[in-house]
């Protein structure tokens, strides 16, 4: 009888925590609260690193952070415990172990441990370790039902996207080599080797253009202009591939819904 | 009898002001005039803030602005009065109240009031309040029949677009944390905290690249290059989602028209 | 009999010059030669303005330019003369006049006249007038059969694209107003008025980011970051609309070809 | 009998080296090994140009590079030898010659020869020649099965893409001419001729925006702002065309698979 109550609590916990168990749009109540806490905790972890922000009450902050750590610890334990509900993971302890050894759960565990590392007054290594709490942000994505659709659409065009990236890297190496040959003698600190010229090529082909490095010779500007025109294609190609992928995913979704 | 004439004037006013009441493409005569007046009034509000522009006749300008304010006041009253024609708002005064309490009408009211706040010679708070007149620009969008189609297409992919934004923010926080660790010691004023490094991450991942902040160490440049490559994906993802959304909207529009 | 020969020459001339008369892909022989001459003439007009380029033989150049001018004059006359072949323009002289009074033919005429204006040694006004020769580049587009398809695809989404532009301008005015309020006091020369702040807003929302203007206060950077995120949407929206338009044009083309 | 064994080895070699002979996704074992070796060799060629990187053991490096050169020489010979298997190339020596005289094989040969040119201590011309080894990167693309699909999708929209490029070049020349007229007198070193202004136009219309050149007059900023808005269209047009092309390719692929 008690076992049946526990089973019902476990089922409810699973429904509250796992987005796959939810059949309505949006987030469950528990996940909505957790999302807000993740955002608050991440904002705190970010602002903590800024020396000009006066900590109003360092003691209060420490208590707050410890409290958030405890909440996320409870969440972690609850997820592992209720993971037995998911048929895909296998039953009971084997299912829980399967779930716990997957990357998302391992990241969860890491961020939980990081919450309890010594803070502001600890050694450098601990402060760096505490920064891992920022990885909690990745949990937000997993809560969304759109996440798996997007992963699916991107994954279906995996090969084309990797090829686009490789074409991009090839363009970068090629234009960096050209500019190294043309500008290397004039600006040795900026174009004196291919790795140095690559910094310019990355900033140019991604259209960021910081402006710390740019060619000054006429021939260098001609080659850089051709590279600049190629940058339009480099941005257009993955965008076009993703647009086609999302179009296809939408139509596939519709077709399966109609059948 | 008089009531019937008024009803006809009201119906005509509604047809002239509300784009939903119009069944032909383009804008009605009244909305065309109002669009031009909104553009003129906004340009005046913008140029007024520039000290090097000599006001040729400040008195004339004040009269002109007051005149525009009166026109927009009349428009506001006419919209509220004729709102009773839209069945969606409910009949008579209840319908008008429904319309008047919605965000677009409230913004209208605010810009009308701002038109009559004391101008150039008024206190700072009034001058700031008068800047709200610039919100009139938002009225232009609502006049277009394409507006609701676009809102519909974007709204249908709301979840994916929000997720893209969150992935983008996650990438920004992640790359800012990395650069803070790598460049923080070398450029403390620019990368000495995660909030400072975030300014660099925003400029890089949106491919703006002001060039006021950029990494100088070899490792920082390697991480920045990876961030730069990720920026292509960050731009490509919402573009692909919107392209699919607009494609779908066009096909849906066609399918419903054919049936 | 002579008339019949002339009619045949006129028909052949029309086929050679007007891309609509061509039923095979690619350019006709005459248009291929003209394309090369347009590119050469434009390159000459561009390079002529650069003072550091030593003119090897100014006399030869003048003769060359005059020769190109004569070729384009003959082309202009031939186009007008053979325009009578296009049924859309109406028959004989009325058809030719219709053709000659349209924008493309008027631009042609202007560039032909500009070719014969006094050159390097002429007065400033003539040298500026001669720059109109660069407009010849616009003729290249019209020669392509893809031109009308693209114009058609873009034209079909005209209203959405104009609305995107207006949303963009609205975003620019809005973010410029915010930055003017926040940064105006700190950087009066750069953000001291809305028109000044607009220069920053244009560079930011189009993701160009020259880096001559950027916010320095914390609040300014927060607003600028939000503007930067909005820039992704501003680029994504017209791209998505055009992607849908081109997809639709391709499918329409296929459907009409199959029927 | 021996001939039959050789034929089988040749068939196996062809299957291992030519992606068209492979009917499963991914790369063959030989091509996977070669991909890694190409990446290693390219990284070595890039890093070799950086003077601050201490060569730990120059002798070992030379041996390693020679070893890689021998591997790629063997690969080249094996590709030519097994090319007779591809029916498209024709049988026996004629088929091999056909294959060897095509651009990819000629590039292969060039990179193989470059591997054996004298290295660090050789004359400048040899060191430049050795840089041709970087072209090996182009081989990576050809190994992917997605390559031909992408080439096909891009090729089908060739005319529209070239037209986009020409519209872009036209916009660049046009805006450079305007800025030359407006800013030429104020910033003669940056806008004093159309070729100089073109450097600004390229950086602006591709949204790179290095920030080394930008207008300073009010009129120049107005024209630059219009150019900046046009840059959105310039990026959106090829992206939209490619998105439509990839969508079409996916649907075509599906349709042919279903039939």
Indicate the pTM of the whole model. 0.91
From B163, B203, B235, residue closest to A141, measured CB to CB: B163
Mean pLDDT of A138-166: 85
Look at residue C78 and tell me whether its pLDDT is greater than 80.
Answer: yes
From D209, D239, D243, residue closest to B209, measured CB to CB: D209
Distance, in angstroms, between A161 CA and closest chain B CA? 10
Q: pLDDT per residue over A64-102, tens digit each?
A: 888 999 999 999 999 988 888 876 665 677 888 888 888
- Contacts of residue B218, defined as CB under 8 A and 6 or more positions apart, other chains included, come to none
Cβ–Cβ < 8 Å for C143, D170 = no
Contact B247 A247 (CB under 8 A): yes
Contact D228 C51 (CB under 8 A): no
Q: For residue D208, which residues of chain C lie inside 8 Å, CB to CB?
A: 208
pLDDT of residue B88: 67
| CATH number belonging to the domain at B2-143, selected among 3.40.50.2000, 3.40.50.10420, 1.10.260.40, 1.20.120.350 | 1.20.120.350
Q: How many CB atoms lie within 10 A of CB A208?
A: 30
pLDDT of residue B55: 67
Q: For residue A75, which of A47, A42, A37, A48 has the smallest C-alpha distance?
A: A37
Q: Is D239 in CB contact (< 8 Å) with chain B?
A: yes
Range 147-166 of C in CB contact (< 8 A) with D: 147, 149-150, 165
From C167, C207, C247, residue closest to B141, measured CB to CB: C167
Q: Which two tokens stand for residue C32?
A: 């291929």
Nearest CA in chain C to D231: C206
Half-sphere exposure of B20 (CA within 13 A, CB side): 11
Residues present in chain B in total: 259
Cβ–Cβ < 8 Å for C177, C197 = yes
Residue of D148, D156, D210 to mutate, interface with A, max A Cβ within 10 Å? D210
pLDDT of residue A259: 47
What whole-number distance in Å separates Cα of residue C244 and Cα of residue B153? 12
**Chains in contact with A, counting 3 or more C-beta pairs less than 8 Å apart as contact:** B, C, D
Contact D46 A174 (CB under 8 A): no
Banded model confidence at residue A257, pLDDT cuts 50, 70, 90: low
What whole-number distance in Å separates Cα of residue C155 and Cα of residue C7? 36
Banded model confidence at residue C259, pLDDT cuts 50, 70, 90: very low
Nearest CA in chain D to B207: D208
Range 29-58 of C in CB contact (< 8 A) with D: 42, 45-47, 49-51
Select the more confidently predicted residue: B225 or D148: B225
Q: For residue C209, which of B232, D101, B207 has the smallest C-alpha distance?
A: B207
Q: For residue B240, which residues of chain A lie inside 8 Å, CB to CB?
A: 239-246
Cβ–Cβ < 8 Å for B206, C232 = yes
Q: For residue D238, which of D154, D169, D174 has the smallest C-alpha distance?
A: D154
Nearest CA in chain B to C161: B146
Which run of H or E residues covers position A241? Answer: helix A218-258
Torsion angle (degrees, nearest 10) of CA B53, B56, B57, B62: -30
| Residue D71 burial class via C-beta count within 10 angstroms: exposed 0-12, middle 13-18, buried 19 and up | middle
From B207, B211, B243, residue closest to D243, measured CB to CB: B243
What whole-number distance in Å separates Cα of residue C157 and Cα of residue D95? 51
Q: pLDDT per residue over B190-205, tens digit each?
A: 999 999 999 999 999 9
**Chains in contact with B, counting 3 or more C-beta pairs less than 8 Å apart as contact:** A, C, D
Q: Is D251 in CB contact (< 8 Å) with chain B?
A: no
Cβ–Cβ < 8 Å for B234, C232 = yes
Percent of chain A whose predicted confidence (pLDDT) is above 70: 92
Least confident among B56-60, C74-78, C108-112, D171-175 = B56-60
Q: Which two tokens stand for residue D9?
A: 């080895």
State the 10-residue block means of pLDDT for chain D, 259 residues long: 80 85 79 91 89 76 87 92 76 81 89 78 71 85 78 88 91 95 95 96 96 96 96 90 85 65
Q: Is B118 in CB contact (< 8 Å) with chain D?
A: no
Banded model confidence at residue C73, pLDDT cuts 50, 70, 90: very high
Cβ–Cβ < 8 Å for D235, C235 = yes
Q: Could you tell me where in chain A the CATH 1.20.120.350 domains are found? A: 2-144
Residues present in chain A in total: 259
Residue that the structure tokens 């007059």 belong to? D217
Cβ–Cβ < 8 Å for C245, C156 = yes
Own/partner pairs for B76-79, CB < 8 Å, 24+ apart? B76/B105, B76/B108, B76/B109, B76/B112, B78/B13, B78/B17, B79/B17, B79/B18, B79/B105, B79/B108
Mean residue pLDDT of chain B comes to 86
DSSP string covering A195-228, please? HHHHHHHHHHHTT---SSS---SHHHHHHHHHHH
What is the CATH number assigned to the segment(s) A2-144?
A: 1.20.120.350
Which run of H or E residues covers position C4? Answer: helix C2-17
Contact C134 D174 (CB under 8 A): yes
Residue of A244, A245, A250 to mutate, interface with D, max D Cβ within 10 Å? A244
From A207, A208, A243, residue closest to C243, measured CB to CB: A243
Q: Is A240 in CB contact (< 8 Å) with chain C?
A: yes
Cβ–Cβ < 8 Å for D224, A220 = no
Q: Is B168 in CB contact (< 8 Å) with chain C?
A: yes
- Contacts of residue B144, defined as CB under 8 A and 6 or more positions apart, other chains included, come to B19, B27, C159, C162, C163, C166
Q: For residue B181, which residues of chain A lie inside 8 Å, CB to CB?
A: 128, 131
Select the more confidently predicted residue: C144 or A222: A222
Task: Look at phi and psi of residue C92 and say left if phi exceeds 0, alpha if psi is from -120 to 50, else beta.
Answer: left
Q: Could you tell me where in chain B the CATH 1.10.287.70 domains are found? A: 156-258
Q: For residue D238, which of C242, B53, B12 has the smallest C-alpha distance?
A: C242
Banded model confidence at residue A258, pLDDT cuts 50, 70, 90: low
Cβ–Cβ < 8 Å for C51, D192 = yes
Q: Which fold has domain A156-258?
A: Helix Hairpins (1.10.287)
Provide the 3-class DSSP secondary structure of residue A133. Answer: helix
Contact C207 A211 (CB under 8 A): no
Estimate the crossing angle of helix A158-183 against helix A218-258, to 10 degrees.
Answer: 170
Cβ–Cβ < 8 Å for C208, D204 = yes
Q: Which two tokens stand for residue B32?
A: 């065309």
Look at residue B120 and tell me whether its pLDDT is greater than 70.
Answer: no
Mean pLDDT of A157-185: 93
∠ Cα B158 B164 B166 (to 5°): 105
Q: For residue C209, which residues of chain A lie inside 8 Å, CB to CB?
A: 208-209
Q: For residue D209, which residues of chain B lie inside 8 Å, CB to CB?
A: 208-209
Select the more confidently predicted residue: C232 or B121: C232
Q: How far is CA C221 from CA B173, B203, B215, C186, in A?
A: 15, 10, 19, 13
Banded model confidence at residue B259, pLDDT cuts 50, 70, 90: very low
Mean residue pLDDT of chain A comes to 86
Contact B207 D210 (CB under 8 A): no
pLDDT of residue D71: 93
Q: For residue D164, which of C251, A227, C146 has the smallest C-alpha distance?
A: C146
Q: Could you tell me where in chain C the CATH 1.20.120.350 domains are found? A: 2-143
From D131, D134, D208, residue closest to A207, measured CB to CB: D208
- Contacts of residue D203, defined as CB under 8 A and 6 or more positions apart, other chains included, come to A209, A228, C208, D209, D210, D212, D213
Q: For residue D44, which residues of chain A lie inside 8 Å, CB to CB?
A: none
Banded model confidence at residue A187, pLDDT cuts 50, 70, 90: very high
Distance, in angstroms, between D229 CA and closest chain C CA? 7
Nearest CA in chain D to A203: D208
Which of the given ranges, B95-99, B242-246, C225-229, D252-256, has the highest pLDDT on average?
C225-229
Q: For residue A19, which of A9, A32, A2 has the smallest C-alpha distance?
A: A32
Cβ–Cβ < 8 Å for A83, A101 = no
DSSP string covering chain D, please? -HHHHHHHHHHHHHHHH-GGG--SSS--HHHHHHHHHHHHHHHHHHHTT-TTSPPS-HHHHHHHHHHHHHHHHHHHHHHHHHGGG-GGG-SHHHHHHHHHTSHHHHHHHHHHHHHTS--TTS-HHHHHHHGGGGGGHHHHHHH-THHHHHHHHHHHTHHHHHHHHHHHHHHHHHHHHHHHHHHTTTSHHHHSSHHHHHHHHHHHHTT---SSS---SHHHHHHHHHHHHHHHHHHHHHHHHHHHHHHHHHHHHHHHHH-
Q: Is D241 in CB contact (< 8 Å) with chain C?
A: yes
| Residue A256 burial class via C-beta count within 10 angstroms: exposed 0-12, middle 13-18, buried 19 and up | exposed
Cβ–Cβ < 8 Å for A83, A95 = yes
Mean pLDDT of A124-143: 81
From A134, A140, A235, residue closest to B166, measured CB to CB: A140
Look at residue A245 and tell me whether its pLDDT is greater than 80.
Answer: yes
- Contacts of residue C152, defined as CB under 8 A and 6 or more positions apart, other chains included, come to C249
What whole-number distance in Å separates Cα of residue D259 and Cα of residue D257? 6
Nearest CA in chain D to A192: D50
Q: Which two tokens stand for residue D212?
A: 């080394």
What whole-number distance in Å separates Cα of residue B133 and Cα of residue B112? 7
Residue of D43, D50, D53, D209 to mutate, interface with B, max B Cβ within 10 Å? D209
Contact D170 C137 (CB under 8 A): yes
What whole-number distance in Å separates Cα of residue A106 and Cα of residue A99? 9
């Amino acid at each position: 009888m008690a076992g049946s109550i526990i089973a019902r609590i476990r089922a409810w916990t699973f429904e509250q925590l796992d987005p796959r168990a939810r059949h309505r749009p949006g987030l469950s109540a528990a996940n909505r609260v957790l999302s807000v806490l993740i955002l608050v905790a991440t904002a705190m972890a970010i602002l903590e690193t800024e020396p000009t922000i006066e900590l109003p009450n360092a003691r209060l902050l420490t208590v707050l952070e410890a409290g958030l750590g405890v909440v996320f610890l409870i969440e972690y334990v609850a997820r592992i415990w209720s993971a037995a509900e998911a048929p895909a993971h296998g039953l009971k302890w084997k299912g829980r172990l399967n779930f716990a050894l997957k990357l998302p759960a391992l990241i969860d565990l890491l961020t939980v441990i990081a919450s309890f590392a010594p803070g502001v007054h600890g050694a450098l290594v601990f402060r760096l370790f505490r920064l891992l709490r920022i990885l909690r942000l990745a949990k937000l994505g997993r809560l969304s039902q759109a996440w798996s659709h997007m992963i699916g659409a991107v994954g279906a065009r995996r090969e084309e996207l990797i090829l686009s990236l490789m074409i991009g890297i090839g363009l970068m190496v090629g234009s960096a080599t050209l500019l190294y040959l043309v500008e290397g003698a004039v600006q040795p600190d900026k174009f004196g080797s291919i790795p140095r010229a690559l910094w310019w090529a990355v900033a140019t082909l991604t259209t960021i253009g910081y402006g710390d490095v740019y060619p000054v010779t006429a021939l260098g500007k001609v080659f850089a202009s051709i590279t600049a025109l190629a940058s339009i294609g480099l941005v257009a190609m993955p965008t076009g591939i993703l647009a086609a992928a999302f179009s296809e995913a939408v139509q596939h979704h519709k077709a399966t819904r109609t059948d």
